[in-house]
């Protein structure tokens, strides 16, 4: 049997322009509709969260926080799924990258329209860029996970794994309480710092809180004591936004290294006959 058309390793770069027209035409032909649908869905979900909150008379700063929470959750769901549906590595990157890029468009809109009653902006342009960088780092991690497998089933499994890892990180304030109840205060402090460092929502909030218009600081808000237990035991050290982004990029790089090593030491399917496996032709 010939090599499967959807093999992720079949195309490490852009499609061959000479074989199928211009590069842009090939991208639009192969992934255009999927990218457009992903972008539209992302804008509707993320901007919809903001406008829904505003329609419920939520202040602009709190509505912005709600929209950013939805953005982080949406990316954790949509980015790995979009990458898994790509036909090859390039297609996976294009489709998955659309999620972060569409979120970037949403951030620009929120930068322009999100303002408090006094007309002060709730989001600076610099903060919007930083939040985009964090979302892009999550996107890159999803691509690295999905591209680690060759088969469609493997890509789907890795997409689920990527989503699960990001959801565990996002939900850390809700499950970390049992981990921080020990008698070793230094260990608890270190654990809490790591939990904050890998949570992209904390990184996003640190960008929003660079200006105090939002009047919302997750680590010191009463909500931490009402629905979570992290701050009951220890006050986590404030982590800079870029520390979280770098952590996700490092995880993506590690996933790529593990994938490359595994492919070097693992025999290819085409070498199965050498390992004693017989290939059968299907009628």
DSSP secondary structure, the chain, as one string: -PPPTT-GGG-SSS--HHHHS-HHHHHHHHHHHHHHHHHHHHHHHHHHHHHHHHHTT--HHHHHHHHHHHHHHHHHHHHHHHHHT-SSHHHHHHHHHHHHHHHHHHHHHHHHH-B-TTS-BSS-HHHHHHHHHHHHHHHHHHHHHHTT--SHHHHHHHHHHHHHHHHHHHTHHHHGGGGG-SS-HHHHHHHHHHHHHT-HHHHHHHHHTTSGGG---TTTSTHHHHT--HHHH--PPP--HHHHHHHHHHHHHHHHHHHHHHHHHSPPGGGGGGGTPPP----
* Between 275 and 36, the higher pLDDT residue: 36
pLDDT, position 222:
57
pLDDT, position 271:
42
pLDDT in tens, 240-249: 888 899 999 9
Q: How confident is the model at residue 283 (pLDDT cuts 50, 70, 90)?
A: very low
Q: What is the mean pLDDT of residues 179-190?
A: 75
pLDDT, position 3:
44
Rounded-to-integer distance, Cα 213 and Cα 9, Å: 48
Q: How confident is the model at residue 166 (pLDDT cuts 50, 70, 90)?
A: very high
Q: How confident is the model at residue 67 (pLDDT cuts 50, 70, 90)?
A: very high
Q: Calculate the average pLDDT of the chain.
A: 78
Beta bridge partners of 115: 121
pLDDT, position 278:
38
Does residue 211 surpass a pLDDT of 80? no
Q: How confident is the model at residue 213 (pLDDT cuts 50, 70, 90)?
A: very low
- Does the global pTM surpass 0.85? no
Q: How confident is the model at residue 12 (pLDDT cuts 50, 70, 90)?
A: very low
pLDDT in tens, 194-208: 888 888 988 888 888
Q: Which residue's entry shows tokens 């996107």?
A: 139
């Amino acid at each position: 049997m010939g090599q499967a058309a959807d093999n992720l390793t079949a195309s490490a770069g852009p499609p061959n322009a000479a074989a199928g027209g211009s590069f842009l035409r090939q991208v639009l032909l192969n992934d255009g509709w999927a990218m457009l649908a992903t972008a539209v869905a992302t804008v509707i979900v993320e901007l919809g969260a903001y406008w829904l909150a505003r329609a419920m008379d939520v202040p602009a700063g709190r509505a912005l926080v709600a929209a950013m929470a939805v953005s982080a959750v949406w990316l954790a769901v949509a980015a790995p799924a979009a990458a898994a549906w790509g036909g090859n590595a390039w297609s996976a990157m294009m489709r998955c990258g659309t999620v972060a890029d569409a979120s970037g468009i949403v951030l620009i809109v929120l930068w322009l329209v999100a303002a408090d009653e006094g007309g002060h902006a709730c989001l600076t342009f610099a903060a919007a860029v930083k939040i985009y960088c964090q979302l892009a780092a999550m996107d890159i991690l999803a691509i690295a996970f999905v591209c680690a497998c060759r088969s469609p089933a493997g890509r789907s499994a890795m997409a689920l794994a990527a989503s699960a890892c990001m959801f565990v990180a996002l939900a850390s304030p809700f499950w970390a309480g049992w981990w921080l109840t020990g008698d070793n205060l230094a260990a608890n402090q270190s654990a809490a710092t790591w939990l904050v460092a890998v949570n992209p929502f904390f990184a996003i909030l640190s960008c929003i809180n660079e200006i105090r218009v939002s009047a919302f600081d997750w680590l010191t808000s009463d909500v931490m004591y009402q629905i979570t237990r992290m701050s009951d035991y220890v006050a986590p050290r404030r982590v800079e936004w870029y520390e979280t982004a770098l952590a996700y990029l490092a995880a993506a790089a590690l996933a790529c290294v593990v994938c490359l090593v595994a492919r070097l030491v693992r025999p290819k399917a085409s070498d199965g006959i050498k390992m004693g496996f017989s290939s059968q032709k299907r009628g």
